[in-house]
Amino acid sequence: MNNTTSPLTILDHIIDVAGSLFYREGTKSVGVDRIILEAGVAKATMYRYFSGKDALVAACLQRRHDKVMAALQAGLSATRATGHAKVLRVFELLHAKAESPDFRGCAFMLAVAENEGSEEVRAIARMHKQTVQALFAELLPPAWPQAQQIAAQLNLLYDGAMAQILIFRKPDAALVAKECAATLLRAAEQKPARA
């Protein structure tokens, strides 16, 4: 990197380089020295921004969270779908994303699996999963008394699809999850509200 780069740009650059390496190769197999080398920064610069590798992994996950949520919101905004179809659109977006040869599954699950002892990493993964579940809840009819429960079930289908895609390398798991979600939504719609 050249010396005229602003501090924010250097920080973003380190996070981008590290995030790409972590997702592609795993957090355990990529050391800080490799990130320093590939980012083209001094060791002192790295440690000015990050106290250690856990903090860097957490920053990368926060960046990924922001990108994933922005992509989901953009994909939902771009559709004319309403009602159940809008909920099911989330699974279609996952299917499209999973067709990329670079897709390795859920970065948050992968990071927690490799950094089980890091509460910092686990906290960001929990926050991401809760945010996706909240997104599902927002897409459901507000009058549904069971909306939070249905959102949790949809979130589980979404996570399960990502796990299947990772294991079998077939994006169609997202479409199977979409069919399951459609069945769940139809059943919830027919369930009478409690008095």
Dump pLDDT digits (tens) for 154-178.
999 999 999 999 999 999 999 999 9
- At residue 145, the pLDDT reads 87
List the one residue out of 153, 111, 101 whose CA is nearest residue 18. 111
Per-residue confidence band for 1, with pLDDT thresholds at 50, 70 and 90: low
> Domains (ranges, CATH) in the chain?
1-50 (1.10.10.60), 57-190 (1.10.357.10)
Q: How far, in Å, CA of 87 to CA of 75, rounded?
A: 11
Residues 6+ apart with CB under 8 A from 73: none
Residue 59: CA atoms inside 13 Å, Cβ hemisphere, count? 17
Rounded Cα distance between 76 and 87, Å, is 9
- Separation CA 121–CA 56 (nearest Å): 10
**pTM for the whole thing?**
0.89
Residues near 16 by Cβ (< 8 Å), separated by ≥ 6? Answer: 63
**Structure-block tokens of residue 120:** 């910092």
Separation between Cα atoms, residue 33 and residue 28, nearest integer Å: 13
Mean pLDDT of 74-84: 93
Convert the pLDDT of each residue in 34-54 to its tens digit.
Answer: 999 999 999 999 999 999 899
Q: 3-class SS at 116?
A: coil
Mean pLDDT across 85-112: 95
